[in-house]
Amino acid sequence: MAGYKANQIEAGRAPLETALRQDHWWLEPVLVVGSLTLFSIYALWRAWEGAYFSGLQALQSGASWAPAYLSPFYSPPVHEWFPHLAASMHISPAFFVLLFPLSFRATCYHCRRSYYRAFFLDPPACAMAEPCAQRRKAYTGESAFPFILQNLHRYALYAILVVVVFHFLHLYDACFVVHKDGSRHFGIGVGTLIFALDTALLSLYVFSCHSWRHLIGGGLNRMSAAPIRSMIWTVVSSLNTRHGLYFWLSLVTVGIADAYVRMVASGAITDFRII
């Protein structure tokens, strides 16, 4: 009798057929496919372009002053550390930089959930049957190549922490204006505010990460034995509930920051100075 009831309960939990769901379950997968595809195309185009990534490039177009902005797609500034590397290899320096945030975002637990559902329909939504379930009988989860690479997420965290540090450094630089004679003075522009928002949201995204949460509180048998770590873990756990939101917002702002720098660097617009 108990086994019969268990089977009945399990049957009630079985995924529904597509035709039985009356809500707009397909909306999220469509938005995810569209958003990630558009951002990927834009990021690859900007990396391939390899130009207009510094606000100071406006000085080359005849401007009398320019803001000290650097596109987040080119931070850390590999092009300054190894100026002849990209030229000799005929590769945009952005490709060396984007590898780190890309590896972190692609292996992110929230991002995995999103593109597994949207691109692989695995499953397309909660309580939904997998359309191609019969074709994936040999699926081994994340225990074989290429999905075993998802386990590198905790190591990608260390790389993205470096990127966060450089975001703050470039936010500081964004508070200055450089003149043709090389002099600098403090000034806040629209780009500075965009950089501040992007840096804040990237920080929220990174420091709400599951791997960061484990790094803070993992390995402790008694949280009371480490009150400071326990306090930080509590804060990170609170941020973690909105990790997915920070993922999408930081993705949008990093694209906006790069687009703004490109317009300023190409001379399409002049940065509006607030101070």
The pLDDT value recorded for residue 103 is 93
Q: How many CB atoms lie within 10 A of CB 160?
A: 22
Residue 15 covered by a domain: no
Residue 195 covered by a domain: yes
The pLDDT value recorded for residue 1 is 46
Backbone angles phi, psi at 15, to 5 degrees: -60, 140
Residue 13 covered by a domain: no
The pLDDT value recorded for residue 219 is 76
Residue 157 covered by a domain: yes
Residue 272 covered by a domain: no
The pLDDT value recorded for residue 7 is 46
Residue 61 covered by a domain: yes
Residue 173 structural domain: 23-131+143-266
Q: Are 208 and 243 in contact (CB under 8 A)?
A: yes
The pLDDT value recorded for residue 86 is 65
* Number of structural domains the chain divides into: 1
Q: Going by C-beta distance under 8 Å and a sequence separation of 6 or more, which residues neighbour residue 49? A: 92
Tokens 């928002």, residue located = 197
The pLDDT value recorded for residue 87 is 66
Backbone angles phi, psi at 126, to 5 degrees: -65, 145
Q: Are 253 and 204 in contact (CB under 8 A)?
A: no
Residue type, 42: Y
Q: Going by C-beta distance under 8 Å and a sequence separation of 6 or more, which residues neighbour residue 161? A: 206
Q: Mind listing the pLDDT tens digit of every residue in the chain (275 residues)?
A: 444 444 444 455 555 555 567 788 889 999 999 999 999 999 999 999 989 999 999 998 888 999 999 999 999 988 888 877 766 667 788 888 888 999 999 999 999 999 988 998 888 887 777 777 666 666 677 788 888 889 899 899 999 999 999 999 999 999 999 999 889 999 999 999 999 999 999 999 999 999 999 998 887 778 778 889 889 999 999 999 999 999 999 999 999 999 999 999 999 999 999 98
Q: Going by C-beta distance under 8 Å and a sequence separation of 6 or more, which residues neighbour residue 30? A: 118
The pLDDT value recorded for residue 9 is 46
Residue 45 covered by a domain: yes
Residue 38 covered by a domain: yes
- Cα separation, 104 vs 153, whole angstroms: 6
The pLDDT value recorded for residue 161 is 96
Q: What tens digit of pLDDT does each residue of 86-105 get?
A: 666 677 888 888 889 999 99
Q: What tens digit of pLDDT does each residue of 112-159 get?
A: 999 988 998 888 887 777 777 666 666 677 788 888 889 899 899 999
